[in-house]
């Protein structure tokens, strides 16, 4: 081919320019890509890189202690060692598995699978008992190590188990007080960042906090000894009556402090996995039940306070049968004309219905609310039930009558005992509480928590009282309640020699969902009262579900009440007085307070 020099030059230049252009294009493409990666997607790749070479190490925090009112430990975090393995560093998995298996009590083949796994880190057993740790430390095996962790320990076992709740494997509160006050007990979580290196080593990037985060200790209003009295009496009572379950609450009458909150069957938070969900519930605060006749004291007090009835008034109890619309209301035995005192003493449903219906539904509903029903008591107990009170707009005549003697209304045991406590406090509703005070890390006692601006976020201890009924009405109803435990009353079994006891029995039928009506075989027996009636110290409620030997509150729940109150009064140095007995004494008699 004959080509002129000019052509050759032109051709060379063209080729050179083409190659140059190609390089420039490539360079521009690379620049564009760099711009895309470094500028446009910078944040995304930064995060991705960080996640690959950095790790946040959370510090295992020691939870605050839960104590009773006398500083006895109810829950505490104990430092224990957890066993881990780095399979790549274990010399002989079979030998190590054979050595570890009998000590940690894990089957050999399961251990071997873990030790042969391709993971860099595997837990073998967490939170080992100290004896096992000592044995394992002596072996000094390669690739096996320990990490210190905290384990929540409840020294009293199933003592107030449902109330306290429990924590999970990572020390997080899962139930009860442990869950409700998680932010206070666990404190603020602290962590530090480490950089991952080759050989799976880590280098701290930020300073490791020297001190564990601050947390609070909680002092409950519970008294361990009184809690024991309540649990023991309840257990014995439930077993004796062959009941399904029971609950008992002991309130300090004047302050509203919850001194005991017991449920049977019990639950051990140390081994929470072994108990069913139903047993973990604190039924004394979370369950709703129809209070039955114990509610009559509310009906009578409301009607007296409203002036709809007078103390001297007499009522005809229809000889045991009373028709309201198409429904029939019955008494357990036929009664004729009775006074208010007799109505409570003999627990007449018909007369209670008549008294309740003397008020308008709206007014009666207002009193029910004032006694604390239909709303959470805000005592600080976890998962409190608010109960269920039908709006007066939807009340039919039979609902009005039923509510008057404690049916067609759902209340929690805590609400009921707080309502009965009104009569022990001269007509004032005293809010119940479970947290007495907090302690910070320096042991300083706190009764409130404030935010950074100094505003109070949460209060602990005694709350503000509210007047529900007049003191004269409360005194009158108290007199009637004393008669209930005296000769001829429904709760003679609650009487204690040397003390005046005021209270009311309750026997309510359980509503059967399948039958669509109240069961004729399943009952809830209850008793609520306070003692000594002259100067009330404790207000106690006992609820027993589905007893089988007898179903009357006076026969099932009253003896349990008696046992709890008798032991509590003597424990609190309230001595019996020879002149004060339940046989026809008035509330003005004396008690000796040593």
> Which residues form the interface with other proteins (CB under 8 A)?
72-73, 76, 78-79, 153, 155-157, 159, 224-225, 227-228, 231-232, 496-499, 566-567, 569-570, 575-578
The residue (of 348 and 485) whose beta carbon lies closer to other proteins is 485
As given in the structure block, the two tokens for residue 247 are 């609950």
As given in the structure block, the two tokens for residue 438 are 């907090």
The secondary structure of residue 246, as a DSSP letter, is E
Contact between 115 and 87 (Cβ < 8 Å): yes
Task: Name which of 211, 80, 212 is nearest 152 in CA terms.
Answer: 80
The residue (of 429 and 499) whose beta carbon lies closer to other proteins is 499
Nearest distance, CB of residue 531 and other proteins, angstroms: 11
The residue (of 224 and 505) whose beta carbon lies closer to other proteins is 224
Strands 191-196 and 54-58: antiparallel
The secondary structure of residue 410, as a DSSP letter, is B
Cα–Cα dist 378/376, whole Å: 5
Nearest distance, CB of residue 247 and other proteins, angstroms: 18
Nearest distance, CB of residue 524 and other proteins, angstroms: 27
Nearest distance, CB of residue 173 and other proteins, angstroms: 19
The residue (of 28 and 78) whose beta carbon lies closer to other proteins is 78
Nearest distance, CB of residue 65 and other proteins, angstroms: 8
In sequence order, what DSSP letters do the residues of 142-194 get, joined into one string?
TTEEEEEEEEEE-TTTTTTHHHH--B-TTS-B-SHHHHHTHHHHH----EEEE
Nearest distance, CB of residue 168 and other proteins, angstroms: 20
As given in the structure block, the two tokens for residue 319 are 């000889």
The residue (of 332 and 581) whose beta carbon lies closer to other proteins is 581
Query: Would residue 338 be called left, alpha or beta, if left means φ above 0 and alpha means ψ between -120 and 50 degrees?
Result: beta
Cα–Cα dist 535/503, whole Å: 14
Collapsed DSSP state (helix, strand, coil) of residue 485: coil
Nearest distance, CB of residue 289 and other proteins, angstroms: 27
The distance of Cα 11 from the centroid of its chain, to the nearest Å, equals: 91
Contact between 333 and 382 (Cβ < 8 Å): no
Nearest distance, CB of residue 570 and other proteins, angstroms: 5
The residue (of 62 and 478) whose beta carbon lies closer to other proteins is 62
The residue (of 522 and 567) whose beta carbon lies closer to other proteins is 567
As given in the structure block, the two tokens for residue 82 are 């957890």
The residue (of 127 and 354) whose beta carbon lies closer to other proteins is 127
């Amino acid at each position: 081919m004959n080509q002129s020099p000019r052509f050759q030059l032109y051709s060379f230049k063209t080729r050179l320019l083409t190659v140059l252009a190609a390089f420039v294009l490539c360079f521009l493409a690379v620049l564009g890509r760099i711009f895309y990666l470094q500028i446009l997607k910078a944040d995304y790749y930064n995060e991705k890189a960080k996640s690959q070479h950095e790790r946040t190490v959370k510090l295992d925090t020691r939870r605050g202690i839960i104590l009773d009112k006398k500083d006895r430990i109810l829950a505490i975090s104990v430092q224990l060692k957890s066993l881990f393995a780095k399979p790549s560093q274990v010399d002989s998995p079979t030998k190590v598995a054979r050595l570890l298996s009998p000590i940690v009590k894990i089957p050999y083949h399961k251990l071997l699978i873990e030790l042969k796994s391709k993971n860099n880190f595997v837990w073998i057993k967490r939170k080992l008992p100290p004896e096992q740790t000592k044995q394992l430390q002596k072996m000094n095996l390669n690739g096996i190590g320990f990490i210190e962790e905290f384990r929540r320990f409840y020294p009293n076992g199933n003592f107030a188990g449902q109330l306290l709740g429990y924590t999970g494997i990572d020390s997080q509160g899962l139930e009860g007080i442990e869950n409700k006050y998680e932010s206070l007990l666990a404190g603020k979580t602290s962590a530090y960042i480490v950089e991952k290196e080759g050989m799976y080593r880590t280098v701290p990037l930020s300073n490791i906090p020297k001190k564990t985060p601050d947390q609070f200790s909680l002092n409950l209003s519970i008294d361990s000894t009184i809690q024991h009295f309540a649990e023991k009496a309840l257990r014995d009572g439930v077993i004796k009556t062959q009941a399904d379950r029971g609950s008992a609450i002991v309130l300090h009458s004047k302050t509203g402090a919850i001194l005991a909150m017991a449920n049977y069957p019990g639950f051990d938070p140390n081994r929470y996995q072994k108990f069913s969900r139903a047993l973990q519930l604190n039924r004394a605060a979370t369950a709703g039940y129809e209070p039955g006749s114990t509610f009559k004291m509310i009906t009578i007090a409301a009607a007296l306070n409203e002036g709809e009835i007078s103390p001297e008034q007499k009522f005809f109890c229809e000889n045991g049968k009373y028709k309201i619309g198409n429904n029939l209301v019955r008494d357990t035995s036929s009664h004729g004309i009775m006074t208010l005192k007799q109505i409570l003493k003999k627990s007449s449903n018909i007369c209670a219905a008549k008294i309740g219906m003397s008020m308008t539904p709206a007014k009666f509903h207002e009193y029910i609310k004032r006694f604390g029903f239909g709303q959470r008591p805000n005592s600080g107990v976890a998962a409190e039930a608010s109960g269920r009170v039908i709006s007066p707009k939807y009340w039919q005549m039979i609902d009005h009558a039923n509510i008057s003697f404690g049916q067609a209304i759902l209340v929690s045991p805590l609400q009921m005992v707080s309502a009965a406590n009104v009569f022990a406090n001269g007509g004032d509703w005293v809010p119940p509480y479970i947290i007495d005070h907090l302690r910070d890390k320096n042991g300083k006692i706190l009764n409130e928590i404030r935010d950074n601006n100094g505003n109070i976020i949460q209060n602990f201890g005694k709350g503000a009282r509210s007047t529900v009924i007049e003191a004269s009405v409360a005194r009158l109803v108290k007199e009637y309640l004393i008669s209930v435990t005296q000769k001829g009353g429904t709760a003679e079994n609650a009487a204690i020699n040397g003390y005046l006891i005021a209270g009311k029995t309750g026997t309510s039928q359980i509503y059967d969902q399948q039958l669509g009506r109240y069961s004729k075989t399943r009952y809830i027996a209850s008793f609520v009262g306070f003692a000594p009636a002259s100067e009330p110290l404790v207000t106690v409620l006992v609820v027993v579900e589905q007893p089988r030997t007898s179903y009357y509150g006076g026969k099932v729940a009253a003896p349990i009440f008696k046992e709890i109150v008798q032991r509590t009064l003597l424990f609190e140095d309230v001595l019996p007085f020879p002149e004060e007995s339940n046989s026809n004494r008035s509330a003005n008699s004396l008690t000796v307070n040593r």
